[in-house]
Amino acid sequence: MTQATEASWSAETAEAGLARQRAWVEVNTAAISANARSLKRRIGPATSLMAVVKADGYGHGSVPVARAALSGGASQCGVATLAEGIELRRAGIEAPILVLGNLTQVEELRSCLRWQLMPTISGMREALVCQNLASGQGRPMQLQLKLDTGMARLGADWPEGPRLVAAIGELDAVQLAGLYSHLASADAPPTVDDGLTTRQQQRFESVLQALGNQNLEGLSCHLANSAATLRSGGLHYDLVRVGLALYGHSPAPHLASVIPLEPAMALHARVSLIREVPAGTGVSYGHSFHTSRPSRLAVVGIGYADGVPRQLSNQLEVLFQGQRIPQVGAITMDQLVLDASDCPALESGSVVTLLGQDGDQQIRPSDWSERCQTIPWEILCGFKHRLPRLTAAQAAWEGPTPGAH
């Protein structure tokens, strides 16, 4: 090893060590690529895959996720905000990018033109603004029209679809690149499905039929989110927009076996202190837990400020060497406490897994969300940026053997 290489290695080792000092998110980009490949096999060659990387790639890091998804077969990216789209462009992502949020301000749409981002529009006002901005630029500005078929959120009223498509088609400086809608309950199990997805698809289909084949030429029509992608090939159309499944999680239990998915995130934290306490000791704020025996408590450097929900207090478990260890007392802003009485191998400096796999044991975001009465999406998006995002190699790397040359 050269002196320069050794110095570089030492610096990287020190940086990785600092990142793993307290708590961190481990992101497996190979799993993202594998999930993209599984999704591509599911939808077939006639349908394109859009990787939805909004909310910093659902907490995984939007840039590495986008690169991994594109290498796995995705052809486009979806983001929620203008800033998210610009971040991908600045990172060198050249694939088409759709901004799923509604951009209404002139400067926002001007930025879309500059950075070659496709804005979502819900009416003619934004289309005319784009027309004025793109006139004389030498290339048409691509945009996509969203229709509201039952979500009551963004989008033009679906009966207005044919008229709006025709009107936008008359503009010479813009190109309508897509027509889409969003499903409200595609994840509903068959036993409770009230037919809303069918009604939404029928409304979408009625617009497509009114437009006819000629007006649909060059137009990407899409309806499916992760749940619809797994639910039925009849919902796929030209493109599917996949978020949660890309990250290795099924949007509903009854869809979990449709294709193999590999979770791409693990959450780890380090034990900072071990303390022995007598029976009857109250733990953490409010003393919601008292030890029932002489106990060995482990303090772990992660809390609700990092994204571990306080609602999980006295319900959380962590993994260590394939063993489940219960969390006790109130989860605080920066720390939580484990009852390690039955795990003598756990020591100060040991690393525990809050989400992910350890041996034959696994904890998923859905395990947390069910106990918090929320959804896995919220859990994944809740991890704050003071938690470093490390690749699997960075998380495992201990650096060179001392004295190796």
DSSP 159: G
**285 catalytic residue (yes or no):** yes
Catalytic residue among 54, 58, 146, 247: 54
Query: What residues pair up with 211 in beta bridges, in sequence order?
Result: none
Is residue 41 within 8 A of residue 259, CB to CB? The reply is yes
d(CA 21, CA 15) in angstroms, rounded, equals 10
Is residue 1 within 8 A of residue 9, CB to CB? The reply is yes
**180 catalytic residue (yes or no):** no
d(CA 99, CA 77) in angstroms, rounded, equals 9
d(CA 112, CA 140) in angstroms, rounded, equals 12
E strand intervals along 340-402: 351-358, 361-363, 389-391
Catalytic residue among 40, 146, 247, 285: 285
Q: At what angle do helices 82-90 and 106-115 cross, to 10 degrees?
A: 20
How many C-beta neighbours within 10 Å does residue 128 have? 15
d(CA 301, CA 338) in angstroms, rounded, equals 11
d(CA 56, CA 361) in angstroms, rounded, equals 28
Ramachandran area for residue 55 (φ above 0: left; ψ -120 to 50: alpha; else beta): left
d(CA 361, CA 281) in angstroms, rounded, equals 30
Structure tokens of 101? 């949020």
Q: What are the two backbone dihedrals, phi and then psi, of residue 309, each rounded to the nearest 5 degrees?
A: -60, 135
The catalytic residues are 54, 285
